[in-house]
Amino acid sequence: MTNLSDYQLRFPSLAFDLDTTLPRVRCGDNGAVELFLQGAHLSQFETRSGREILFMGDAAQFQAGKAIRGGVPICFPWFGPKKDDPQSAMHGFARTMEWEIVEADDKSLTLALSSDAQTQSIWPHPFRLVYRVEFEGETLRLSMEIKNTGTSAFKFELALHTYYRVADVSKIQIEGLEGKTYLDKTQDYARKVQKGAVSIGGETDRVYLNAGGPITLHDDGNEVRISNLRGWRSTIVWNPWQEKARTMPDLGEDDWKHFVCIESGVVVENAVELAAGGNYQLAIEIEAQATI
Protein backbone atom coordinates (compact mmCIF):
# COMPACT_ATOMS: atom_id res chain seq x y z
CA MET A 1 0.00 0.00 0.00
CA THR A 2 1.36 3.41 -0.96
CA ASN A 3 2.17 5.84 1.84
CA LEU A 4 -0.36 8.69 1.55
CA SER A 5 2.16 11.21 2.83
CA ASP A 6 4.29 10.42 -0.24
CA TYR A 7 1.30 11.11 -2.48
CA GLN A 8 0.70 14.42 -0.73
CA LEU A 9 4.24 15.50 -1.53
CA ARG A 10 4.09 14.32 -5.14
CA PHE A 11 0.61 15.64 -5.95
CA PRO A 12 -0.02 18.93 -4.11
CA SER A 13 -3.18 19.60 -6.16
CA LEU A 14 -4.90 16.67 -4.44
CA ALA A 15 -6.47 16.50 -0.99
CA PHE A 16 -6.34 13.20 0.89
CA ASP A 17 -8.73 12.01 3.58
CA LEU A 18 -6.60 10.21 6.11
CA ASP A 19 -9.36 9.46 8.61
CA THR A 20 -11.55 7.31 6.36
CA THR A 21 -11.69 3.51 6.37
CA LEU A 22 -10.37 3.44 2.80
CA PRO A 23 -7.92 6.00 1.36
CA ARG A 24 -9.86 8.71 -0.47
CA VAL A 25 -8.67 11.57 -2.65
CA ARG A 26 -10.40 14.81 -3.68
CA CYS A 27 -9.55 16.78 -6.76
CA GLY A 28 -10.65 20.11 -8.25
CA ASP A 29 -12.34 23.19 -6.85
CA ASN A 30 -14.12 22.37 -3.58
CA GLY A 31 -13.44 18.67 -4.16
CA ALA A 32 -15.55 18.39 -7.33
CA VAL A 33 -14.26 14.85 -7.86
CA GLU A 34 -13.87 12.29 -5.09
CA LEU A 35 -12.24 8.92 -5.61
CA PHE A 36 -11.23 5.94 -3.49
CA LEU A 37 -7.88 4.34 -4.29
CA GLN A 38 -9.48 0.94 -3.82
CA GLY A 39 -10.88 0.13 -7.22
CA ALA A 40 -10.02 3.62 -8.52
CA HIS A 41 -13.62 4.08 -7.47
CA LEU A 42 -15.06 7.45 -8.51
CA SER A 43 -17.66 8.33 -5.88
CA GLN A 44 -18.48 11.95 -6.65
CA PHE A 45 -18.64 14.36 -9.57
CA GLU A 46 -20.22 17.70 -8.75
CA THR A 47 -20.62 19.99 -11.76
CA ARG A 48 -19.74 23.67 -11.70
CA SER A 49 -23.45 24.46 -11.36
CA GLY A 50 -23.60 22.29 -8.22
CA ARG A 51 -25.36 19.24 -9.62
CA GLU A 52 -24.26 15.84 -8.32
CA ILE A 53 -24.29 13.39 -11.24
CA LEU A 54 -23.38 10.15 -9.49
CA PHE A 55 -25.39 8.20 -6.93
CA MET A 56 -23.85 7.12 -3.62
CA GLY A 57 -26.25 5.97 -0.92
CA ASP A 58 -25.84 6.45 2.82
CA ALA A 59 -25.77 2.66 3.28
CA ALA A 60 -22.70 2.19 1.06
CA GLN A 61 -20.03 0.11 2.78
CA PHE A 62 -16.33 0.98 2.72
CA GLN A 63 -14.30 -2.08 3.62
CA ALA A 64 -10.94 -3.27 2.34
CA GLY A 65 -11.44 -5.93 -0.30
CA LYS A 66 -15.19 -5.35 -0.60
CA ALA A 67 -16.75 -3.72 -3.66
CA ILE A 68 -18.27 -0.27 -3.11
CA ARG A 69 -21.83 0.26 -4.36
CA GLY A 70 -22.54 3.52 -6.19
CA GLY A 71 -20.39 5.94 -8.15
CA VAL A 72 -18.39 4.27 -10.92
CA PRO A 73 -17.14 0.77 -10.11
CA ILE A 74 -14.70 -0.70 -12.67
CA CYS A 75 -15.56 -4.22 -13.83
CA PHE A 76 -12.48 -6.08 -15.16
CA PRO A 77 -11.37 -8.60 -16.43
CA TRP A 78 -14.80 -10.21 -16.47
CA PHE A 79 -18.36 -8.94 -16.15
CA GLY A 80 -20.84 -10.68 -13.88
CA PRO A 81 -19.81 -14.14 -12.64
CA LYS A 82 -16.55 -15.63 -13.92
CA LYS A 83 -17.62 -18.15 -16.54
CA ASP A 84 -15.19 -20.91 -15.55
CA ASP A 85 -15.46 -20.26 -11.81
CA PRO A 86 -18.83 -18.90 -10.63
CA GLN A 87 -17.48 -18.75 -7.06
CA SER A 88 -15.01 -16.01 -8.01
CA ALA A 89 -15.78 -12.38 -7.25
CA MET A 90 -18.53 -10.82 -9.34
CA HIS A 91 -17.28 -8.37 -11.98
CA GLY A 92 -13.60 -9.25 -11.54
CA PHE A 93 -10.94 -7.99 -9.18
CA ALA A 94 -10.12 -4.48 -10.43
CA ARG A 95 -12.82 -2.87 -8.28
CA THR A 96 -11.44 -4.26 -5.01
CA MET A 97 -7.69 -3.76 -5.52
CA GLU A 98 -5.74 -0.64 -4.64
CA TRP A 99 -4.65 1.43 -7.63
CA GLU A 100 -1.69 3.79 -7.78
CA ILE A 101 -1.86 7.47 -8.70
CA VAL A 102 0.51 8.23 -11.58
CA GLU A 103 -0.50 11.78 -12.63
CA ALA A 104 -2.70 14.55 -11.28
CA ASP A 105 -3.50 18.23 -11.65
CA ASP A 106 -6.47 20.42 -10.73
CA LYS A 107 -8.65 19.03 -13.56
CA SER A 108 -7.54 15.43 -13.99
CA LEU A 109 -6.38 12.33 -12.20
CA THR A 110 -4.68 9.25 -13.69
CA LEU A 111 -4.37 5.92 -11.91
CA ALA A 112 -2.95 2.53 -12.84
CA LEU A 113 -3.26 -1.12 -11.89
CA SER A 114 -0.75 -3.77 -12.99
CA SER A 115 -0.87 -7.53 -12.76
CA ASP A 116 0.97 -9.15 -9.88
CA ALA A 117 1.13 -12.53 -8.15
CA GLN A 118 -2.31 -12.00 -6.63
CA THR A 119 -4.07 -11.18 -9.91
CA GLN A 120 -2.27 -13.95 -11.80
CA SER A 121 -3.42 -16.51 -9.25
CA ILE A 122 -6.99 -15.53 -10.23
CA TRP A 123 -6.56 -14.64 -13.91
CA PRO A 124 -3.20 -15.75 -15.38
CA HIS A 125 -2.50 -12.87 -17.77
CA PRO A 126 -0.03 -9.98 -17.48
CA PHE A 127 -1.68 -6.58 -17.99
CA ARG A 128 -1.63 -2.91 -17.11
CA LEU A 129 -4.71 -0.70 -16.80
CA VAL A 130 -4.43 3.07 -17.00
CA TYR A 131 -7.53 5.05 -15.98
CA ARG A 132 -7.84 8.79 -16.55
CA VAL A 133 -10.55 10.98 -15.00
CA GLU A 134 -10.92 14.48 -16.49
CA PHE A 135 -13.49 17.07 -15.49
CA GLU A 136 -14.39 20.64 -16.26
CA GLY A 137 -17.62 22.57 -15.80
CA GLU A 138 -20.53 20.24 -16.54
CA THR A 139 -18.43 17.54 -18.22
CA LEU A 140 -16.71 14.38 -17.02
CA ARG A 141 -14.47 12.24 -19.25
CA LEU A 142 -13.46 8.72 -18.29
CA SER A 143 -10.77 6.92 -20.28
CA MET A 144 -9.37 3.43 -19.82
CA GLU A 145 -6.44 1.82 -21.60
CA ILE A 146 -5.83 -1.91 -21.27
CA LYS A 147 -2.36 -3.13 -22.19
CA ASN A 148 -1.43 -6.77 -22.72
CA THR A 149 2.08 -6.89 -21.27
CA GLY A 150 2.44 -10.64 -21.79
CA THR A 151 3.50 -12.88 -24.66
CA SER A 152 0.12 -14.43 -25.52
CA ALA A 153 -3.32 -13.10 -26.33
CA PHE A 154 -6.10 -12.86 -23.77
CA LYS A 155 -9.82 -12.10 -23.84
CA PHE A 156 -11.33 -9.62 -21.40
CA GLU A 157 -14.52 -7.81 -20.48
CA LEU A 158 -14.62 -4.27 -19.14
CA ALA A 159 -17.42 -2.01 -17.93
CA LEU A 160 -17.68 1.36 -16.23
CA HIS A 161 -20.61 0.46 -13.96
CA THR A 162 -21.88 4.04 -13.60
CA TYR A 163 -24.68 4.82 -11.13
CA TYR A 164 -26.53 7.97 -12.25
CA ARG A 165 -28.52 9.89 -9.64
CA VAL A 166 -32.18 10.43 -10.62
CA ALA A 167 -35.22 11.96 -8.93
CA ASP A 168 -37.50 8.98 -9.59
CA VAL A 169 -36.34 6.00 -11.63
CA SER A 170 -39.92 5.15 -12.64
CA LYS A 171 -40.19 8.46 -14.51
CA ILE A 172 -36.92 8.51 -16.45
CA GLN A 173 -36.39 7.82 -20.13
CA ILE A 174 -33.19 6.63 -21.79
CA GLU A 175 -32.82 7.49 -25.48
CA GLY A 176 -30.25 6.11 -27.90
CA LEU A 177 -30.87 2.37 -27.62
CA GLU A 178 -33.87 2.19 -29.94
CA GLY A 179 -33.66 -0.80 -32.29
CA LYS A 180 -30.72 -2.34 -30.43
CA THR A 181 -30.60 -6.03 -29.57
CA TYR A 182 -30.28 -6.77 -25.88
CA LEU A 183 -29.97 -9.76 -23.56
CA ASP A 184 -32.55 -9.69 -20.77
CA LYS A 185 -30.81 -11.15 -17.72
CA THR A 186 -34.07 -11.18 -15.74
CA GLN A 187 -35.39 -13.71 -18.28
CA ASP A 188 -32.43 -16.07 -18.62
CA TYR A 189 -30.63 -13.90 -21.19
CA ALA A 190 -33.59 -13.85 -23.60
CA ARG A 191 -32.61 -11.96 -26.76
CA LYS A 192 -34.89 -9.00 -27.49
CA VAL A 193 -34.99 -5.80 -29.52
CA GLN A 194 -35.55 -2.42 -27.87
CA LYS A 195 -38.68 -0.62 -29.05
CA GLY A 196 -38.70 3.08 -28.32
CA ALA A 197 -36.95 4.75 -25.41
CA VAL A 198 -36.05 2.68 -22.35
CA SER A 199 -38.19 3.19 -19.25
CA ILE A 200 -37.90 1.42 -15.91
CA GLY A 201 -40.99 -0.20 -14.42
CA GLY A 202 -39.54 -3.16 -12.53
CA GLU A 203 -36.29 -5.03 -12.04
CA THR A 204 -34.17 -4.26 -15.09
CA ASP A 205 -30.91 -5.96 -16.09
CA ARG A 206 -30.11 -5.72 -19.79
CA VAL A 207 -26.98 -5.98 -21.90
CA TYR A 208 -27.37 -4.05 -25.15
CA LEU A 209 -25.02 -5.38 -27.81
CA ASN A 210 -23.18 -3.26 -30.38
CA ALA A 211 -24.63 -0.24 -28.61
CA GLY A 212 -22.01 2.40 -27.94
CA GLY A 213 -24.03 5.57 -27.62
CA PRO A 214 -24.63 8.40 -27.70
CA ILE A 215 -27.24 7.97 -24.99
CA THR A 216 -29.36 10.61 -23.28
CA LEU A 217 -30.84 10.14 -19.82
CA HIS A 218 -33.95 12.29 -19.27
CA ASP A 219 -34.72 12.91 -15.61
CA ASP A 220 -37.26 15.42 -14.30
CA GLY A 221 -36.16 18.32 -16.48
CA ASN A 222 -32.49 17.40 -16.37
CA GLU A 223 -30.50 15.51 -18.96
CA VAL A 224 -27.25 13.61 -18.95
CA ARG A 225 -25.69 12.93 -22.33
CA ILE A 226 -23.22 10.04 -22.56
CA SER A 227 -21.02 10.07 -25.65
CA ASN A 228 -18.69 7.45 -27.09
CA LEU A 229 -15.20 8.87 -27.55
CA ARG A 230 -13.74 5.46 -28.43
CA GLY A 231 -14.11 1.76 -27.83
CA TRP A 232 -17.58 1.61 -26.20
CA ARG A 233 -19.50 -1.35 -27.69
CA SER A 234 -21.92 -2.60 -25.00
CA THR A 235 -24.41 -0.76 -22.80
CA ILE A 236 -25.80 -2.28 -19.63
CA VAL A 237 -28.96 -0.84 -18.03
CA TRP A 238 -29.64 -1.96 -14.46
CA ASN A 239 -31.93 -1.21 -11.54
CA PRO A 240 -32.80 -3.86 -8.91
CA TRP A 241 -36.25 -2.42 -8.10
CA GLN A 242 -37.73 -2.66 -4.64
CA GLU A 243 -37.86 -6.38 -3.88
CA LYS A 244 -34.30 -7.22 -4.92
CA ALA A 245 -32.95 -4.01 -3.37
CA ARG A 246 -34.22 -5.22 0.02
CA THR A 247 -31.72 -8.09 -0.16
CA MET A 248 -28.78 -5.69 -0.60
CA PRO A 249 -27.36 -4.48 2.73
CA ASP A 250 -25.47 -1.64 1.04
CA LEU A 251 -28.65 -0.04 -0.34
CA GLY A 252 -31.00 2.00 1.83
CA GLU A 253 -34.73 1.29 1.83
CA ASP A 254 -35.61 3.76 -0.93
CA ASP A 255 -32.24 4.04 -2.68
CA TRP A 256 -33.40 1.97 -5.64
CA LYS A 257 -35.75 4.83 -6.61
CA HIS A 258 -32.92 7.30 -7.01
CA PHE A 259 -30.46 5.71 -9.40
CA VAL A 260 -30.14 3.95 -12.70
CA CYS A 261 -26.99 2.25 -13.91
CA ILE A 262 -26.09 2.97 -17.52
CA GLU A 263 -22.84 1.12 -17.96
CA SER A 264 -20.40 1.56 -20.83
CA GLY A 265 -18.17 -1.31 -21.81
CA VAL A 266 -17.21 -4.33 -23.85
CA VAL A 267 -18.96 -7.39 -22.43
CA VAL A 268 -20.50 -10.75 -23.38
CA GLU A 269 -20.52 -10.95 -27.20
CA ASN A 270 -18.57 -7.68 -27.39
CA ALA A 271 -15.67 -8.94 -25.24
CA VAL A 272 -12.24 -8.08 -26.66
CA GLU A 273 -9.45 -10.42 -27.74
CA LEU A 274 -6.20 -8.55 -27.12
CA ALA A 275 -2.98 -9.68 -28.80
CA ALA A 276 0.32 -9.89 -26.97
CA GLY A 277 1.76 -6.39 -26.68
CA GLY A 278 -1.52 -4.84 -27.82
CA ASN A 279 -3.68 -2.23 -26.17
CA TYR A 280 -7.36 -1.29 -26.18
CA GLN A 281 -8.89 2.04 -25.29
CA LEU A 282 -12.38 2.85 -24.06
CA ALA A 283 -13.43 6.43 -23.36
CA ILE A 284 -16.73 8.16 -22.66
CA GLU A 285 -17.87 11.72 -22.02
CA ILE A 286 -20.67 12.50 -19.56
CA GLU A 287 -22.27 15.92 -19.85
CA ALA A 288 -24.95 17.34 -17.56
CA GLN A 289 -27.58 19.47 -19.29
CA ALA A 290 -30.59 21.27 -17.82
CA THR A 291 -33.71 21.45 -19.99
CA ILE A 292 -35.90 23.60 -17.72
Domain ranges of the chain: 4-167+207-214+226-237+259-290
144 pLDDT above the threshold of 60: yes
DSSP 187: G
Which residue among 34, 46, 157, 263 is the active-site one?
A: 263
| Pairwise CA distance, residues 76 & 1, whole Å | 21
> Is 161 an active-site residue?
yes
What gap in Å lies between CA 148 and CA 151, rounded to an integer? 8
For 215-272, give the secondary structure using H, E and C: EEEEECCEEEEEEEEECCCEEEEEECHHHHHCCCCCCCCCHHHHEEEEEEEECHHHCE
Q: What are phi and psi of 165, to 5 degrees?
A: -75, 130
**Residue of 34, 161, 218, 287 marked catalytic:** 161
Query: Do β-strands 215-219 and 234-239 pair in parallel, antiparallel, or remain unpaired?
Result: unpaired
pLDDT in tens, 113-127: 999 999 999 999 999
| Biggest alpha carbon–alpha carbon distance for the chain | 54
Phi and psi at residue 26, in whole multiples of 5°? -120, 145
- Which of 171, 134, 159, 164 lies closest to 236 in space, CA to CA? 159
Average pLDDT over residues 245-264: 96
Residue type, 163: Y
Task: Give residue-wise pLDDT tens across range 2-11.
Answer: 678 888 899 9
Instruction: Write down the pTM of the prediction.
Output: 0.96
Exposed/middle/buried for residue 35 (C-beta within 10 Å: 0-12, 13-18, 19+): buried
When pLDDT is cut at 50, 70 and 90, the band that residue 260 belongs to is very high
Nearest Cα to 256, choosing from 182, 126, 166?
A: 166
Give the pLDDT of residue 21.
83
To the nearest whole percent, how much of the chain has pLDDT over 90? 86
Cα separation of 246 and 267, whole Å? Answer: 27
Asked if 125 is an active-site residue, the reply is no
Residue 30 pLDDT exceeds 80: no
Under CATH, which architecture does the 4-167+207-214+226-237+259-290 domain have?
Distorted Sandwich (2.70)
- Average pLDDT on 36-53 reads 96
Instruction: Quickly state the pLDDT bin for 292 (edges 50, 70, 90).
Output: low
Residue 1 has pLDDT above 60, yes or no: no
